[in-house]
Chains A and B, each alone.
Chain A
């Protein structure tokens, strides 16, 4: 078990998250992809704290903060989605292109 494997896994998860973030049509699914991204970041943080900083484990403290902020962020995100849904009756990302050229 090396650090690289964790990092690669986290990178893969990040890429999956990016893919989902860019391609999903459902806004909730976009939020879910963001959660995937954040989780991949957490994985990174945990791996680094384990392998590089076993004494201080500052990475774990970072992760706790990230999880907390992620919860708050998805709460706000869902609220935004709800308010858009109330106005436009849809959560399709392709309908939200009013601010173009």
Chain B
């Protein structure tokens, strides 16, 4: 039985696909009378099945060598496109996290989407995401990874555009699609360029190839940068970060998944590609630079936001930046742990703030306040999320950050400094959010704000449990360092930076001594971060401007020059017909003259050679 389950892990994405297809039956156009609710229930059941399957398989893979399966897909000429499935504790663990978060997110969505009729579409898309991410976890081929990334890009477009009658949703979905698509297209270039070099797309074989590859540095750099571009778009790193901000227009339950797992898909690919990327030191440097700039910039932007969801989304960018730093310096274990702890904590944070938004309507942090006494569950969940995300022992984020800091301690101390700064700033930004929502006195929008009903609170509290138990789970899997090997200086510094950041946030925002809203003396700096480094203007004046101008120019060229030339031919024949018809004068004598001239001309040509001699 156990072996059977192990051999059929590839069914895990299929459960979700079944759910997605089935829930389409309850779309309003098909079911006109009984409403869309079964769509949600079916999907929760399917996700639960997938979760159980992952859970039952996980112990079998623990500390076992990775097993490989291969499902045939397409064999043409010299190309063998089989679908390689890797069954290892990491991939099964990833699918466990994905399905578990999906299960909680979908239960949350049943509560959150109570007043919405579009369950069929929404849950079908959630299931599509789940299927895509599980497939991505198991897939051991760069080629199929690219396919699933594109499926997820399309899914992002559709799910951000759930409520498409809002104009900001439409522009947000557009940006999310295009920005991620640009990254994916560069990734495709890399995927296509690496095949002639390595002769395989299998991640294991790529790693083997990379060990002994003698590659021209320029080629290695270009391929590495192309492979890096996909995850930059996926993980919302600078300069492709704006889409995540605008994707906050989508429904909160989908945001839970996007913030916690979907953005991690890029990091997952990056971790798998680390041996290839490590071929070029330039790419590693670029990765570390992009990651650290995004991490610092993202947290600074997050501090300056007044929208709850957007503030969290920039924290996501920042943490993904830390993952970039980790992968760029070769610490893939730390990156995986960071992704895990971030996924749980971030999901918890989005759940708790979403629960606040659902009952207080506004997302504006300046309109919220004074909810601690009346929303204790949401408040505690928010606190647990903050503690789990930043480096606060003994929770998960601390161990992940510590592992990374420990790895960087000797070789790259400046990156440890960045890590500490980001950790502190994230602590400040999250505690600022907590303070603005829960502390102080109630504002008009939060005068009456009841705690949510069980469908919202239950998954939130289960998630809080998961976040709080993460260190125990890690310990039971013996993933935590022992006390002897613990880097105590790094741990102390992390603790200090977390306490400093969150303590400062608490003093400023939880304490009521400083009047709000806080205005920095440097107004320009404040708006610079509040308007996310003026990225929309930057896009509009650079890429969008050039593409727009170029397309207008080509359109003009097409309409005027190309069409004009073709039309000119037609016009010329039309005009010549119109003009030449006047040679039919209707005068018989003119016709005779023409005949005479014609005959003379023919006679002349025929006797031409005769005249010449």
Contact = CB atoms under 8 A, between A and B. Distances in A.
Interface string A75-98: 000000000000000000110111
Contacts of B587: 93-94, 96-97, 100
B589 A23 contact: yes
A1 interface: no
Contacts of B582: 101
Nearest to B590: A22
B589 A18 contact: no
Nearest to B591: A22
B586 A93 contact: no
A96 B585 CA distance: 10
Contact of A30 (B584, B589, B596): B589
A96 B592 CA distance: 14
A80 B587 CA distance: 16
A38 interface: no
B586 A99 contact: yes
A93 B466 CA distance: 110
Interface string B561-588: 0000000000000000000011011111
A100 B585 contact: yes
Given A18-B596, A22-B593, A22-B596, A93 B585 contact: no
A21 interface: yes
A97 B283 CA distance: 86
Contact of A101 (B581, B588, B592, B593): B581
B589 A21 contact: yes
B410 to A, nearest CB: 97
Nearest to B589: A22
Interface string A13-45: 000001001111000001000000000000000
A10 B592 CA distance: 19
Contact of B586 (A22, A30, A98): A98
B588 A96 contact: yes
B589 A101 contact: no
Contacts of A22: 589-590, 592-593, 596
Interface in A47-100: 93-94, 96-100
A23 B587 CA distance: 11
Contacts of A100: 584-587
A39 B582 CA distance: 34
Nearest to A25: B589
Contacts of A24: 589
A19 B586 CA distance: 19
A98 B585 CA distance: 9
A41 to B, nearest CB: 14
Nearest to A14: B596
Contacts of A101: 581-582, 584, 586
A21 B592 contact: yes
A56 B161 CA distance: 103
B219 to A, nearest CB: 71
Contacts of A99: 586
Contacts of A96: 586-588
Contacts of B596: 18, 22
Interface of A: 18, 21-24, 30, 93-94, 96-101
Given A96-B588, A101-B584, 14 more contacts: A18-B596, A21-B589, A22-B590, A22-B592, A22-B596, A23-B589, A24-B589, A96-B587, A97-B587, A98-B586, A99-B586, A100-B584, A100-B586, A101-B586
29 contacts: A18-B592, A18-B596, A21-B589, A21-B592, A22-B589, A22-B592, A22-B593, A22-B596, A23-B589, A24-B589, A30-B589, A93-B587, A93-B588, A93-B589, A94-B587, A96-B586, A96-B587, A96-B588, A97-B585, A97-B586, A98-B586, A99-B586, A100-B584, A100-B585, A100-B587, A101-B581, A101-B582, A101-B584, A101-B586
8 closest cross-chain pairs (CB), A and B = A100-B586, A97-B586, A101-B581, A22-B593, A99-B586, A101-B584, A22-B589, A97-B587
